[in-house]
Structure 1
Amino acid sequence: MNRREFKNGWKKRHIGVILLFKSLATGISLFVIIGLFSVVKGDWTLIVPYALYVGGFFIIIAALLSGALVSGDRLRANFSAETGEDRRRRLIWSTKLLFVGLPNIAGSLLIYCMWMK
């Protein structure tokens, strides 16, 4: 295997990891924006509910896209009706949205446990 084949193979295998880090960075950025908003408003307690709302929104959309909220019969019908490429794209988007929502949920729970007691 020459250098070019190794480099292209690495890109193909690790492009998913790079996309997940971008989604995670987007989620952290949203959390920071919510924090700045609460600083501007002068009320630190706004971080917890707003971050929970934003994180919950993205996680619910991710669950809807992944098919986690449908029955087995509907999931089987969807599986037979869609192509492999459509399924792959849908699951990639579901994973991206999950990684956008997780930092908001984790940050709000961390702030609640540390400062709101």
Structure 2
Amino acid sequence: MRAVGAGLLLSICVFTIAALNGDLMSSLIHLFGLVGLGCIILAALFMGAFIDPDTRRVDHFTDTEETASQRTRWSKTLLLVGLPNIVLFVLTYLLDAVILN
């Protein structure tokens, strides 16, 4: 639950930066998308989604349970931090594309 709270706090920081930038809607769409996508990519990196399957298999058998657990925990945390930003990205995009235009 703290990770979602951290994601919301990060979203507030993104909103503040976008408000200072000038073009609010465009900046919000870009920044929410960038932060959310960045968190998802980092979570995938921690889980080993972008490595060769043979390397992943070797890592599975050579890693300790503690290391694997720590990687999974970091991945879940990053995913939960990025989730509010992705939701706000979609809502901001829909608000800009459908309602305001």
Cα deviation for residue 68 of structure 1 reads 1.8
Equivalent in the alignment of 1:31: 11
| In structure 1, distance between residues paired with 2:49 and 2:39 | 14
- 4+ runs deviating over 3 angstroms: none
Identity of aligned residues (%): 31
* Max Rg structure: 1
Tell me what 2:96 maps to. Answer: 115
Q: Which runs of 5+ in 2 are unaligned?
A: none
Count of paired positions = 97
Pairwise mapping of residues 58-77 of structure 1 onto structure 2 (< 5 A)? 58-77=39-58
| Aligned residue number for residue 69 of structure 2 | 88
Residue 36 of structure 2 aligns with which residue? 55
* 3-state DSSP of counterpart to 1:68: coil
CA distance in 1, matches of 2:8, 2:97: 21
Please give the alpha-carbon distance, in whole angstroms, between the structure 2 residues aligned to 1:57 and 1:42: 23
Segments of structure 1 that go 5 or more residues without pairing to the other structure are 1-20
Q: Which of the numbers 40, 48, 53 marks the counterpart of 2:20?
A: 40
Instruction: Point out which structure has higher relative CO (alpha carbons under 8 A, 6+ apart).
Output: 2
Deviations 1:5-41 (A, max 9, x none): xxxxxxxxxxxxxxxx111111111111111122222
Task: Please give the alpha-carbon distance, in whole angstroms, between the structure 2 residues aligned to 1:37 and 1:100.
Answer: 18
CA RMSD after TM alignment: 1.2
Q: Secondary structure at the match of 2:9?
A: helix
Please, what TM-score do these two structures have when normalized by structure 1?
0.77
- The alpha-carbon deviation at position 49 of structure 1 amounts to 0.6
